[in-house]
Amino acid sequence: MKPSHIIVLVVVLVVVFGASKLPDVAKYFGQSLKVLRKEMREFHDEDSASRRQTVRLLCARGAGACRGPPSGEQSRPKGTGRRPTTGEPDARFPIPSTAENAT
C-alpha cells in the first residue's frame, strides 16, 4: 500500500465512524485478532497432536508409517522445502525462449 492509500483509508474511517469512535474500533479489532490467533494456535496444536497420535497407532500396528522412504527413492533435503534437483529443467514449467519474450 502506498502512503496516499493509507491516508485516504484513514479519512474514510474518520468520516464513517467519527473521530471519537476510532479508538474503540481499533480496540475491538485488536481483540478480534488476538482471539483469532489464539484459536488458530489451538487448532494447529490439536492437528499436530492428532497427527502424532495417528503415526503412533500406525507404527504400533506395523503399517510402515515409521519407516523412511522406500528403497531407491530420495528423501527431501531437510530445511530446504524443495525436492532434490537433477540439473534438468522441469517439463511442467518450461522456460520460455528469449525470442518469445521479445514479442
Share of the chain above pLDDT 90, in %: 17
Residue 66 has pLDDT above 70, yes or no: no
In terms of average pLDDT, the best of 8-12, 49-53, 73-77 is 8-12
Is 20 or 38 the better-scoring residue by pLDDT? 38
State the pLDDT at residue 65. 53
SS (H, E, C) 57-102: HHHHHCCCCCCCCCCCCCCCCCCCCCCCCCCCCCCCCCCCCHHHHH
